[in-house]
Amino acid sequence: QKEVEQDPGPLSVPEGAIVSLNCTYSNSAFQYFMWYRQYSRKGPELLMYTYSSGNKEDGRFTAQVDKSSKYISLFIRDSQPSDSATYLCAGAVQGAQKLVFGQGTRLTINP
Amino acid sequence: GAVVSQHPSWVICKSGTSVKIECRSLDFQATTMFWYRQFPKQSLMLMATSNEGSKATYEQGVEKDKFLINHASLTLSTLTVTSAHPEDSSFYICSATPSWTSGQTGDTQYFGPGTRLTVL
């Protein structure tokens, strides 16, 4: 079993829709959870960062972490074609530098 | 700030040759640099962690004699793929953690743009 599981998609939605991206993880020691956005043939860029359980909002993006069910989510409101990318979730143990990534979900926002 | 560059961005080589990839932190000193490999439609897999002036720590299953890592300065790390074979063709991405952070909170890795290696 992979430490972080993510549906690879692809996921295609119309512009303006609300997008929900999800991951599950198995390592109970994870305390930090990240969402990265990766455009084609580029390196990942940090989009959202959450510590432990709870919600975090930044503009059109909301990250949720439910440690009881080991479930993390990213919501994108008012999706734009420029949001089309691969979204990677990642977890990390406190005190460790290693990030464990999910497979990534390829998202396409259609105009 | 916190920009990481990689060179080259794309390289094609013949089977059996060696290829060197550079990772530079342009506007900060990096305590630690990481090397990842990403196959098409797959996730980033950590290959090794390197600290300036010390030997790299390789993840299980990664051949240290095949993937040579040198972290000679606080702004430069190199990955050399020795005797490359077609199965080594992949997207190699580095990341760096600034020296002003502890690097232990998960949000302090800045990623380079990646290097696409194709071995013929």
Partner A contacted by B41 (CB < 8 A): yes
Higher pLDDT, B120 or B39: B120
Task: Tell me the chain B residues in contact with residue A103 when contact means C-beta distances shorter than 8 Å.
Answer: 41-43
Which residues of chain A have a pLDDT value below 50? none
Query: CB neighbours of B63 closer than 8 A, spacing ≥ 6?
Result: none
**Mean pLDDT of all residues in B61-77:** 92
Phi, psi at residue B86, to the nearest 5°? -55, -30
Residue type, A42: K
What element of type H or E holds B118?
Answer: strand B115-119
Phi, psi at residue B88, to the nearest 5°? -85, -5
Cα dihedral A9, B87, B5, B75, rounded to 10, equals 130
Partner A contacted by B90 (CB < 8 A): no
Using CB atoms, which residue from A43, A99, A102 is nearest to B106? A99
pLDDT band at B2 (very low <50, low <70, confident <90, very high): confident
Chain A: residue nearest B114 by CA? A43
In the predicted structure, residue B103 carries a pLDDT above the cut 60 = no
Cβ-based neighbour number of residue B97 at 10 Å: 23
Rounded Cα distance, B87 and B67, in Å? 13
Rounded Cα distance, A82 and A84, in Å? 5
CB contact under 8 A, B106 and A106: no
What average pLDDT is seen over chain B? 90
Return the exposure string of A54-87: e unless at least 16 CB atoms fall within 10 Å of the residue's CB, then b. Answer: eeeeeeebbbbbeeeebebbbbbeebeeebbbbb
pLDDT, position B107? 66
CB contact under 8 A, A45 and B111: yes
pLDDT band at B106 (very low <50, low <70, confident <90, very high): low
Partner A contacted by B16 (CB < 8 A): no
pLDDT, position B105? 63
Task: Report the percent of chain B where pLDDT is more than 70.
Answer: 93
Answer whether A18's CB lies under 8 Å from A62's CB.
Answer: no
Lowest mean pLDDT of A38-42, A88-92, B8-12, B58-62, name the range: A38-42
**Mean pLDDT of all residues in B26-51:** 90
Using CB atoms, which residue from A49, A94, A103 is nearest to B107? A49
The partner residues of B92 in beta bridges, in order of sequence, read B37, B115
Establish, for the pair of chains A and B, how many residue pairs have beta carbons separated by less than 8 Å. Answer: 67
CB contact under 8 A, A97 and B97: yes
CB contact under 8 A, B97 and A90: no
What element of type H or E holds B44?
Answer: strand B44-51
Rounded Cα distance, A56 and A49, in Å? 8
Higher pLDDT, A12 or B105: A12
Cβ-based neighbour number of residue A111 at 10 Å: 8
pLDDT, position B35? 96
In the predicted structure, residue B54 carries a pLDDT above the cut 90 = no
CB contact under 8 A, B49 and A98: yes
Distance of CA A63 to the CA centre of its chain: 8
Residues of A contacting chain B (CB within 8 angstroms): 4, 6, 8, 31-34, 36, 41-46, 49, 51, 88, 90-92, 94-99, 101-104, 106
Task: Tell me the chain B residues in contact with residue A41 when contact means C-beta distances shorter than 8 Å.
Answer: 91, 114, 116
pLDDT digits (tens, 9 = 90+) for B77-100: 999 999 999 999 999 999 998 877
Counting every residue written for chain B, the total comes to 120
Answer whether B88's CB lies under 8 Å from B81's CB.
Answer: yes
